[in-house]
Structure 1
Amino acid sequence: MSSSTVKVGMVGVLSLTVAACSSGNDVTARCVDRSSYQSDGSYRVIDDDYCDDGRYYGSHGGYFWYYGGTSRGSRIYKGTTVKPKDAHISTPSGKTIQRGGFGSRSSSGG
């Protein structure tokens, strides 16, 4: 009986550890238009489909995911273009870009 108690206890500890690692780093990604950059460091947020469909123009691509940041109206600033590792990344509409924690993977382009 004591061995089953130990097993149940270990499963509970492991579950809490995995939950803590995977849920602690949530990041929001927004699709932005590179040509909309302004001197305050902000970009215009556009529909996610532009980033998902791989619609690019010019030599460096016109649309990309912008991670984190602060939104003000239809603009976002103080974020990064570098995709965070080991983070759960999703869009404001709820689409998952990357699952956080162990075994993270990308589920859309960017």
Structure 2
Amino acid sequence: MSSMKVRLGMIGALSLTVAACGSDADDDDEVTAYCVNQNTYQSDGSYQVIDDDYCDDDGYHGSHGGYFWYYGGAYKGSRIYKGTTVKPKGAHITTTSGKTLQRGGFGSRSSSGG
């Protein structure tokens, strides 16, 4: 009976470790952020990629009015799909123009822009 408790305890601890490690992007993950306009959404799940200045707080539009960063995904033509609107934690994120939005690494929280 006690050996069963030990096994269950080990399985529980292992599960917590795997869950904690898998929740953030790896330290070496490189992710590209694409600026998109929500009004360009199509039924295939894609958005039209537009100039970074529309999403960049330092640019002339800022991250307001339906413009937002779309992370990762597959770029085809001038459209992006199969990415996410949620900023990946722990990844090094750069825009298509080369600006760093977030530095990778454990516990990274720094960001600039939208």
Q: Give the TM-score of the pair, scaled to structure 1.
A: 0.71
Q: Deviations over 1:9-64 (max 9, x none)?
A: xxxxxxxxxxxx64x2110100000000000000000011110132522xxxx100
- In the aligned structure 2, how far is the partner of 1:27 from the partner of 1:37? 21
After superposition, residues 28-107 of structure 1 pair within 5 angstroms as 28-53=32-57, 54-57=62-65, 62-102=66-106, 104=108, 105-107=110-112
Identity of aligned residues (%): 73
Unaligned runs of 5+ in 2: 1-25
Contact 2:33 2:70 in 1 (8 A): yes
Q: Partner amino acid for 2:95?
A: T
How far apart are residue 68 of structure 1 and its match? 0.3
CA shift, 1:102, in A, is 3.5
Amino acid of the residue matched to residue 26 of structure 1?
E
Structure 1, gaps ≥5 residues long:
1-20
1:103 Cα shift? 5.2
Q: Deviations over 1:58-86 (max 9, x none)?
A: xxxx1000000000111000000000001
Q: Which amino acid letter does the alignment assign opposite residue 74 of structure 1?
A: S
RMSD over aligned CA atoms reads 1.4
**SS in structure 2 at match of 1:40:** coil
Q: SS at 1:97's partner residue?
A: strand
- Aligned position for 1:25: 29
* CA apart distance, 1:92: 2.0
